[in-house]
Amino acid sequence: MTQTPSSFYVTTPIYYVNDKPHIGHAYTTILADVISRFHRLLGDPTFFLTGTDEHGQKVEQAANKKGITPLEQCDSTVVRFQDLWRKLAITNDDFIRTTEERHKQIVSKILQKLYDQGEIYKADYIGSYCVPCERFFTEKDLVEGNCPDCNRPVEQIVESNYFFKMSKHQDWLIEYINNNPDFIQPSHRRNETLGFLRQPLDDLCISRPKVRLSWGIELPFDADYVCYVWFDALINYISAPGYITDDQSFQKWWPATCHLIGKDILTTHTVYWPIMLNAIGIDLPKSIFAHGWWLVGKDKMGKSRGNVVDPMEVCNRYGTDAFRYFLLAEMTPGNDASFTEKAFIDRYNTDLADGLGNMLNRVVQLINRHFDGKIPSSGLLESDDAELQTETLAAVKVMERSITEMKLDRGLESVMKVVRACNRYFEKTAPWHLAKEKNIDRLSTVLYTAADSLRIISALLYPIIPEKMNIMRSALGICNNNIEPKLADTKTWGMLESGSKIGDLPSLFPRILVEKTPKSNGGNKNKIKDADDQNLIEITDFAKVKLITARIVSAAKVENTKKLLKLMVDSGNDTRQIIAGIAESYEPDNLINKTIIIVSNLKPATICGNKSEGMLLAAKNGKKLNLITVDGGCNAGASVG
Ligand code: ME8
């Protein structure tokens, strides 16, 4: 079977329809969505499949409880997934439900084929059965010999069932995995599967007698049985693209490029599924990638722990793109990751509000002010400009690699590095000074360079935060038919069109303000009063000091000093430089956009060769300085007193 070389087919697990989707389901689906969007922007024919797993005991029980049919039960819960995917801007090309005819027919045909080939046989199954729960358990599952669900004693019963001959394919599978090192990823999961395959494989019981469970696909060769849910569910990956029913479509997409799964379902995907395909006579998918687990803080997530993170709720509070960004930036796909609201807000404020959003603000504001809202043109490049250009183009390569190697967090980190480099570039080139000095040629080059770097950044981030990047690209004056970027264009510098009118200045990622509980100063109050009695000043003395609010627009270390930071602050009337001794208490990047209080009428001074026009207020707490900041959305230049 051949496949168009560049066609890309990615799948997620089909989720149990009875469950309420949580952050784990959201993660796998967003990851698949982001990779699909990248491939579409690269121009690759792309097919992205997700869906729901709808047969089995839990659905049947839930339906019985409500007095409805199992299908009605599925219909009522499948919408939770479909609604969430809409909310998360998921661009799946198909959504398969295992209760659809197109799927059931294929499962039935495959069962018959394998039965006719002699791959399926009938035998007695002996196992530990819990009569009230109506379930078999393996010896491993039992808790002190009792049912792990209801804790009642189990019975050894014998039941006739159908078995799939997995054992005969074991050696073939080991050899296949060894010969195809990229088949199971990351490599520690391949080792896990090979470890599992060191034990002799049991044949797989693929039937359930209807007297115990009727909600399933009937075995075509024995109407007293239905098919085991996993055997049914895995087949979705080939029934959806048209196995048997649509040869052209199936040949276009199969073998799948990647089955994305969580580490919980490694064995079913890397042992059962390849053996099923081998028995049917179909090529194996090119890769199976098992990502790690989302924890909440350090804990496993679970209903009983009451810590399940609802993606819908997070999106409603902070926005879909912020959620998509956090999940991808925070998890290295092979490892576990932790969700906490604090980590979410910290990352959002640092990367998106103070980093990307702030940089776009600065560029658009200056272009509006000095170039009548039109993208200026670039003159001869100086070394600072060339450096930013090189860093931006290097991030393109890292991002590209991060997609193929499934290391998206690294790709995102490289883009954020460029965002920080852009902010630093502004400190170095100080376009506000260029404007003051009327050095329009240089100002034009600096603003063009920053804007073109933002164009490339917006394209690289487009698959991850598409809605915000649409806004950012129109703010940069990229017109409608180019709003959706072509990834090929990220490799070329200078594609932003000079003279094009920039769009409205959006508040791309407004800072999330966290309310801090005020600490009481308890018994200290009187002490402060007593100590200050001898140093009282008149109100007229205080009135001489002009305190105002100011917004930090940029911050950088003062070279060859340990303590000093060079801040550019917007004081409402002007942008001025303040040299402040806070370098040991603050990282420059964390200061951007903070609204602080400054003494605005202090005589200018030169500190370590740098002009300082004012002084900021900070509280001293041991060695650490804490900036006095202003609550709420206060404008720069407001008087304080
Ligand atoms: O297993 N962290 O469906 P399911 C990360 N129907 N990902 C998580 C997660 C977590 N804490 N919890 C769940 C099934 N996932 C079968 C699949 S496929 C033919 C049949 C994600 O609803 C992860 O992708 O239990 C995991 O593999 C999947 O949800 C399990 O979904």
Query: Does 234 contact ligand 1 (Cβ within 6 A)?
Result: yes
Q: Tell me how long the chain is.
A: 641
Question: To test ligand 1's pocket by mutation, which of 49, 264, 266 has the most ligand atoms within 8 angstroms of CB?
Answer: 264
Q: Which atom of ligand 1 is nearest to the CA of 260?
A: 24
Query: Does 448 contact ligand 1 (Cβ within 6 A)?
Result: no
Whose Cα sits closest to atom 22 in ligand 1?
A: 15
Q: Which atom of ligand 1 is nearest to the CA of 292?
A: 5
Structure-token pair, residue 82: 């479909």
Considering only CA atoms, which of 598, 590, 606, 601 is closest in space to residue 569? Answer: 598
Q: Report residue 524 CA to chain centroid gap.
A: 47
Structure-token pair, residue 533: 């009695």
| Cβ(396)–Cβ(455) below 8 Å | no
Residue 65 clears pLDDT 90, i.e. is over it: yes
Instruction: Round to whole Å and give the CA distance between 253 and 7.
Output: 7
Query: Does 24 contact ligand 1 (Cβ within 6 A)?
Result: yes
Give distance in angstroms: CA of 23 to centre of ligand 1. Answer: 10
Query: Does 294 contact ligand 1 (Cβ within 6 A)?
Result: yes
Whose Cα sits closest to atom 7 in ligand 1?
A: 24
Whose Cα sits closest to atom 16 in ligand 1?
A: 15
Region 457-482: mean pLDDT is 93
Beta-carbon count within 10 A of 178 CB: 11
| Cβ(156)–Cβ(136) below 8 Å | no
Considering only CA atoms, which of 100, 77, 114 is closest in space to residue 240? Answer: 100
At 528 the pLDDT is 32
Instruction: Round to whole Å and give the CA distance between 553 and 592.
Output: 6
At 17 the pLDDT is 97
C-alpha triplet 178, 179, 183: angle, nearest 5°:
80
Instruction: Round to whole Å and give the CA distance between 262 and 13.
Output: 8
Query: Does 239 contact ligand 1 (Cβ within 6 A)?
Result: no
Considering only CA atoms, which of 45, 54, 47, 49 is closest in space to residue 16? Answer: 54
> Please, what is the average pLDDT of the chain?
91
pTM to 2 decimal places: 0.81
Question: To test ligand 1's pocket by mutation, which of 52, 189, 231, 265 has the most ligand atoms within 8 angstroms of CB?
Answer: 265
Which tens digit of pLDDT belongs to each residue from 498-532? 999 998 888 899 999 886 655 444 334 333 333 33
Q: Report residue 293 CA to chain centroid gap.
A: 13
Query: Does 21 contact ligand 1 (Cβ within 6 A)?
Result: no
Alpha-helix runs per DSSP H in 155-264 = 170-179, 187-196, 229-234, 236-239, 247-253
Distance of CA 562 to CAs 89, 556, 557, 583, Å?
46, 12, 8, 7
Question: To test ligand 1's pocket by mutation, which of 10, 11, 14, 15 has the most ligand atoms within 8 angstroms of CB?
Answer: 15
CA-based torsion, 445, 446, 451, 454: positive or negative: positive
Residue 258 clears pLDDT 50, i.e. is over it: yes
Considering only CA atoms, which of 463, 481, 492 is closest in space to residue 41? Answer: 463
Region 130-148: mean pLDDT is 85
Q: Which atom of ligand 1 is nearest to the CA of 53?
A: 6
Residue 318 clears pLDDT 80, i.e. is over it: yes
Query: Does 31 contact ligand 1 (Cβ within 6 A)?
Result: no
Give distance in angstroms: CA of 262 to centre of ligand 1. Answer: 6
Instruction: Round to whole Å and give the CA distance between 268 and 277.
Output: 12
Instruction: Round to whole Å and give the CA distance between 419 and 603.
Output: 34
For every residue of 177-203, DSSP letters joined together read HHH-TTSEESHHHHHHHHHHTTSPPPP
Query: Does 231 contact ligand 1 (Cβ within 6 A)?
Result: no
Which tens digit of pLDDT belongs to each residue from 331-353? 999 899 999 999 999 999 999 99
Exposure letters 110-147 (e unless 16+ CB within 10 A, then b):
bbebbbeeebbeeeebebbbbeebebbbeeeeeeeeeb
Q: Could you tell me the pLDDT band of residue 541, with boundaries at 50, 70 and 90?
A: low
Give distance in angstroms: CA of 431 to centre of ligand 1. Answer: 50
Query: Does 13 contact ligand 1 (Cβ within 6 A)?
Result: yes
* Unique residue bearing structure tokens 């075995």: 219
Residue 44 clears pLDDT 60, i.e. is over it: yes
Instruction: Round to whole Å and give the CA distance between 30 and 385.
Output: 35
Which tens digit of pLDDT belongs to each residue from 593-626? 888 999 988 877 777 777 888 899 988 877 788 8
Residue 179 corresponds to which amino acid? N
Residue 363 clears pLDDT 70, i.e. is over it: yes
At 605 the pLDDT is 76
Query: Does 337 contact ligand 1 (Cβ within 6 A)?
Result: no
- Name the burial class of residue 525, with classes exposed (0-12), middle (13-18) and buried (19+) by CB atoms within 10 angstroms of its CB: exposed
At 130 the pLDDT is 86
For 30, the 3-state DSSP assignment is helix
At 521 the pLDDT is 41
| Cβ(322)–Cβ(469) below 8 Å | no
CA trace torsion 538, 539, 543, 549 (10° rounding): 120
At 1 the pLDDT is 38
Instruction: Round to whole Å and give the CA distance between 217 and 210.
Output: 10
Region 553-559: mean pLDDT is 86
Between 120 and 139, the more confident residue is 120
- Name the burial class of residue 480, with classes exposed (0-12), middle (13-18) and buried (19+) by CB atoms within 10 angstroms of its CB: exposed
| Cβ contacts of 314 within 8 Å, gap of 6 or more | 23, 323, 344
Whose Cα sits closest to atom 18 in ligand 1?
A: 13
Q: Which atom of ligand 1 is nearest to the CA of 28?
A: 24
Instruction: Round to whole Å and give the CA distance between 54 and 40.
Output: 30
Give distance in angstroms: CA of 333 to centre of ligand 1. Answer: 14
Query: Does 262 contact ligand 1 (Cβ within 6 A)?
Result: yes
| Cβ(352)–Cβ(589) below 8 Å | no
| Cβ(429)–Cβ(384) below 8 Å | yes
Region 249-266: mean pLDDT is 97
CA trace torsion 606, 607, 610, 614 (10° rounding): -70
Considering only CA atoms, which of 341, 278, 274 is closest in space to residue 314? Answer: 341
Cα atoms in the Cβ-side hemisphere of radius 13 Å centred on 96: 27
CA trace torsion 363, 369, 371, 373 (10° rounding): 70
Give distance in angstroms: CA of 516 to centre of ligand 1. Answer: 37
| Cβ(355)–Cβ(325) below 8 Å | no
Q: Which atom of ligand 1 is nearest to the CA of 13?
A: 18
Whose Cα sits closest to atom 24 in ligand 1?
A: 262
Beta bridge partner(s), residue 163: 121, 205
Give distance in angstroms: CA of 193 to centre of ligand 1. Answer: 18
Give distance in angstroms: CA of 146 to centre of ligand 1. Answer: 27
| Cβ(574)–Cβ(614) below 8 Å | no
At 538 the pLDDT is 60
Question: To test ligand 1's pocket by mutation, which of 52, 53, 296 has the most ligand atoms within 8 angstroms of CB?
Answer: 53
Instruction: Round to whole Å and give the CA distance between 55 and 230.
Output: 9
